[in-house]
Amino acid sequence: MKYKTGDWRAFRPVVDQKRCVNCLLCWIYCPDGAIVRLEKYIDVNYDYCKGCGICANECPVKCILMVEEKR
């Protein structure tokens, strides 16, 4: 990705890695490609995350929580 677009979000996704079942639905549905697949879990690249909440909405175990962005 060329342009970092995550600097204006109001909410950020926070992943509870202990509850994540690694289904990768968040990775599939993220429109910005901000979900990063690592070996045993996922992470969020906040440089590209716009805070849309699609990842949290699609998560079947609700391990992604949208929290207010602190500036």
Q: What is the pLDDT of residue 39?
A: 86
Q: Where is pLDDT greater, at 40 or 56?
A: 56
Q: What is the pLDDT of residue 31?
A: 95
- Taking only the tens place, the pLDDT of each residue in 8-36 is 789 999 999 999 999 999 999 999 999 99
Residue 31 located in a structural domain: yes
Burial class (CB in 10 A: 0-12, 13-18, 19+), 34: buried
Token pair 């342009």 is found at 3
Q: Is the pLDDT of residue 2 over 70?
A: no
63 within 8 A of 22, measured Cβ to Cβ: no
Q: How far is CA 15 from CA 4, 8, 43, 51, 71, in A?
A: 21, 20, 7, 13, 20
CB atoms within 10 A of CB 12: 18
* Amino acid type, 14: V
Residue 55 located in a structural domain: yes
Residue 1 located in a structural domain: no
Q: Indicate which CATH number applies to the domain containing 17.
A: 3.30.70.20
Q: What is the pLDDT of residue 54?
A: 98
Q: Is the pLDDT of residue 67 over 70?
A: yes
